[in-house]
Amino acid sequence: MQYITEEDKKRIEEKLAECIGKQKILSDRIGRAREMGDLKENAEYHAAKEDQGLNELRIKEYKNKLAISIVADTENIPEDIVFIGAIVKLRDIESKEEEIYRLVGEPTNNFDLDYIEVSPSSPMGEALLKARVGEVIGVDLRRGKRKFEIVEIVS
């Protein structure tokens, strides 16, 4: 079981629909490549088959994510508790630097955002989930154990 936001669910459904839409295109591409002749030395055929396999794998992954995911009910969460979808300002206890994180069920891999996305399965996400404003959390990061104060929940 994995908690995701409604936004995460829509994004996964859009990716799934996009991959399903590619199935016919990839099938047609394989058919055209077959018409070229000898399949042993037909690079277009092998590339199309590989693309089809990757697309089918993505479809399976997206369907599985949707099957094991639960859309988090963010309406009944107290305002001072970090939950899926929350954007949180943290202060590093040692350096006093502040950074903004968003706890997401499914990262977008968009690095142009004003915040850093973390999932509940990451060390930072695990420490943030259900923590409260004012609380100090410890996180085992690659660069060592760090402590952060939860300054505020931005939204």
Q: Are residue 64 and residue 125 in the same domain, yes or no?
A: no
Number of domains in the chain: 2
- Residue 93 confidence (pLDDT): 93
> What separation in angstroms does the CA of 1 have from each of 15, 22, 82, 122, 130?
20, 28, 19, 15, 17
**Looking at the domain assignment, is residue 82 inside a domain?**
no
Do 95 and 146 lie in a common domain?
A: yes
Q: What is the CATH number of the domain that holds 63?
A: 1.10.287.180
105 pLDDT band, cuts 50/70/90, is: confident
| CATH code where residue 147 lies | 3.10.50.30
Instruction: For residue 119, tell me if it sits in a domain.
Output: yes
Q: Which domain holds residue 93?
A: 87-153
Does 60 share its domain with 96? no
The closest of 72, 47, 50, 62 to 17, measured between CA atoms, is 62
Q: Do 11 and 49 fall into the same domain?
A: yes
Query: Model confidence over 4-50: pLDDT tens digits?
Result: 888 889 999 999 999 999 999 999 999 888 888 777 778 888 899 99
Which residue type, as a one-letter code, is found at position 87?
A: I
Give the pLDDT of residue 155. Answer: 79
If asked whether residues 60 and 111 sit together in one domain, one would say: no
If residue 101 lies in a helix (H) or strand (E), which one and from where to where? strand 98-103
Please tell me whether residues 66 and 7 are part of one structural domain.
yes
Global pTM reads 0.71
Q: Which of 2, 1, 3, 138 is nearest to 84 (CA)?
A: 3
Contact criterion met (CB below 8 Å) for 134 and 149: yes
Same domain, 28 and 52: yes
Residue at which a domain ends, from 45, 71, 97: 71
Instruction: Calculate the average pLDDT of the chain.
Output: 89
Check whether residue 63 and residue 10 sit in a common domain.
yes
Q: Are residues 63 and 93 in the same domain?
A: no
Q: Which residue is listed with tokens 């142009």?
A: 112
